[in-house]
């Protein structure tokens, strides 16, 4: 019997999610759906603005457009799965679908870590070496930097996903999570996962430790330069260009630190409560954070707000002309036939 159990491979997984709280699942499903729609709208508008507005064809907004596209991809790889598990009795996911979802979510997370580091470098050059900024951050530089972020994230995810799917899964198939989170999947393997653990540790250093250190050092130089600016207005203007990025960095890495850095409870009852809190935190990390990014960059950025107004004005003007109208609340231009 033991031999039979060991040779039987798992073909699907059960996503536990919040099965113990069915009423909460229904409430959260509505909130998650609304949040997802805001993510698509907010990040979609940011992408359109950075592409269509020629004034925003700069490295900072190019990286911002990549960040918005990344947030859309990340949430799209997980939110439909979460909603499906919340709203339907079926809590299962096939092995292959789990592997695809695991690859996409890990790739997007790793890419964002590197992308936030490149955005910090962009702000460092803009403030500390403004005269050299057009040369250092030319199109020939910032496009490969963004492409490199995506490539590194994809390669790292491919390595970890490949190592994970090659493991034998011959026993429990219940994933104590909303999605196929790689650490939760590894716990179900009925084999030695030391290679996976070591590679995960190396990846954490590369994609978490190095970017955080790089961002920290960059902002030390940035703050030092800002404090040397003689006028208060100049200091305020310089810091405002970094505020949005710094806020996103704090939220992104702060949530990760809270999820994986806090001590685990040894008390069974305390562990249950902690497990519930960890799941809610992962929801915040996976859904709320991508929603906050476009809001943060829009509220504190005059260029983005101007770009959105121009986009709305152009759409409104086009609508006026198509409707054969010669006035519009957003523009004071007539239609020419």
For residue range 204-215, what is the model confidence (pLDDT) as tens digits?
Answer: 899 988 999 999
Distance, in Å, from the CA atom of 242 to the CA atom of 239, rounded to the nearest integer, reads: 5
Q: Which residue has the higher pLDDT, 243 or 263?
A: 243
Ordered by start, the domain boundaries in the chain are 12-305
Least confident of 42-51, 135-144, 191-200, 260-269: 260-269
Q: Which residues of 29-55 are buried (b: 16+ CB within 10 A; e: fewer)?
A: beebbebbebbbebbebbbbbbeebee
Q: Are 240 and 300 in contact (CB under 8 A)?
A: yes
Question: What CA–CA distance (Å, rounded) separates 90 from 274?
Answer: 26
DSSP count for the chain of H helices, then E strands: 14, 3
Buried b (16+ CB within 10 A) or exposed e, 93-130: beeeebbebbbbbbbbbbbbbbbbbbbbbbbbbbbeee
* Nearest residue to 208 (alpha-carbon basis) of 169, 263, 161, 153: 153
Rounded to an integer, the average pLDDT of 308-337 is: 54
Of the candidates 90, 99, 124, the one whose C-alpha atom is nearest the C-alpha of residue 14 is 90
Under 8 Å between Cβ of 137 and 122: yes
pLDDT class for 300, splitting at 50, 70, 90? low
Query: What letter does residue 14 receive in the DSSP assignment?
Result: E
Length of the chain: 337
Instruction: Provide the 8-state DSSP code for 221.
Output: H
Domain 12-305: homologous superfamily in CATH: Rhodopsin 7-helix transmembrane proteins (1.20.1070.10)
In the prediction, which pLDDT does 3 show?
40
**Predicted confidence band of residue 321 (pLDDT cuts 50, 70, 90):** low
**What local confidence, expressed as pLDDT, does residue 217 receive?**
94
- How large is the average pLDDT for residues 311-337? 52
User: What's the pTM value of the predicted model, to 2 decimals?
Assistant: 0.83
DSSP assignments along 78-116, one per residue: THHHHHHHHHSS--EEEHHHHHHHHHHHHHHHHHHHHHH
- The per-residue pLDDT for 323 is 55
Q: Quick one: average pLDDT of 329-333? A: 42
Q: Tens of pLDDT along 255-264?
A: 777 766 555 5
């Amino acid at each position: 019997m033991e031999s039979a159990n060991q040779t039987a491979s798992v073909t699907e997984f059960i996503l536990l999610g919040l099965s113990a709280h069915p009423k909460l699942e229904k409430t959260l499903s509505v909130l998650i759906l609304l949040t997802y729609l805001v993510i698509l709208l907010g990040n979609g508008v940011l992408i359109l603005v950075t592409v269509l507005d020629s004034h925003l064809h700069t490295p900072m907004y190019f990286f911002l457009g990549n960040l918005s596209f990344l947030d859309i991809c990340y949430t799209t790889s997980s939110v439909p799965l979460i909603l499906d598990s919340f709203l339907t009795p079926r809590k299962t996911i096939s092995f292959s679908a789990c592997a695809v979802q695991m690859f996409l979510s890990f790739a997007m997370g790793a890419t964002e870590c590197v992308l936030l580091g490149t955005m910090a470098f962009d702000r460092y050059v803009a403030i500390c070496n403004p005269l050299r900024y057009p040369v250092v951050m030319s199109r020939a530089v910032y496009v490969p930097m963004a492409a490199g972020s995506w490539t590194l994230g994809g390669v790292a995810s491919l390595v970890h996903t490949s190592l994970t799917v090659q493991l034998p899964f011959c026993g429990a198939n219940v994933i104590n999570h909303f999605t196929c989170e790689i650490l939760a999947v590894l716990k179900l393997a009925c084999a030695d996962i030391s290679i996976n653990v070591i590679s995960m540790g190396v990846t954490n250093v590369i994609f978490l430790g190095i970017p955080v250190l790089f961002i920290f050092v960059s902002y030390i130089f940035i703050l030092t330069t800002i404090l040397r600016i003689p006028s208060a207005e100049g200091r305020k203007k310089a810091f405002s260009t970094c505020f949005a990025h710094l806020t996103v960095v704090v939220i992104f890495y702060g949530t990760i630190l809270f999820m994986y850095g806090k001590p685990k409870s040894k008390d069974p009852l305390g562990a249950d409560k902690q497990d519930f809190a960890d799941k809610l935190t992962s929801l915040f990390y996976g859904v709320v954070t991508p929603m906050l990014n476009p809001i943060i960059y829009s509220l504190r950025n005059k260029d983005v707000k101007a770009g959105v107004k121009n986009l709305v004005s152009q759409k409104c003007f086009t609508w006026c002309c198509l409707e054969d109208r010669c006035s519009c609340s957003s523009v004071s231009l007539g239609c020419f036939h």
